[in-house]
Amino acid sequence: MIGAEFQKAQFAALNGATDAGANVFDQVPEENPFPRITIGDEQVIDDTNTCQAAWEVFSDVHCWSRPESGSKIEVKTIAAQVVTAVLGITEVAGFTLVSIAHQTTRFFRDPDGLTEHAVVSFRALIDPA
């Protein structure tokens, strides 16, 4: 099973690679910094065949911004940087990364009326090393 290794690869690729800087979290701290990125939900599907084990990993990365202007420009910029960083992943410790693709990005204002939010979704195919 793939476990947490894909999340660790995402964290390594994202930490410091966007305008969110080192504000990359699994669990957001109490000080609630903006802008920030959170590594979100993940779905792992067994893609094993008769020849070998394999997994499809669907992963969401959330981008958060709270600009004074209320503009979505900052969150859209960070989301684009997230796509570039995650597509740059070449290794997942203990596994072979067969492919990784950007699936969708959704932009919206959170119900608080202040926070701009993007959800960036990826699909990775991973085999055992």
Domain ranges of the chain: 5-128
pLDDT value of position 20: 97
Torsion of CA 86, 101, 97, 12, to 10 degrees: 10
Note the CATH number of domain 5-128: 3.30.2000.30
Predicted TM-score (pTM) of the model is 0.94
Is the separation of the CB atoms in 38 and 21 below 8 Å? Answer: no
- Output the pLDDT for position 88: 98
Partnered with residue 100 across adjacent β-strands are 124
pLDDT band for position 48 (cuts 50, 70, 90):
confident
Average pLDDT, the chain: 95
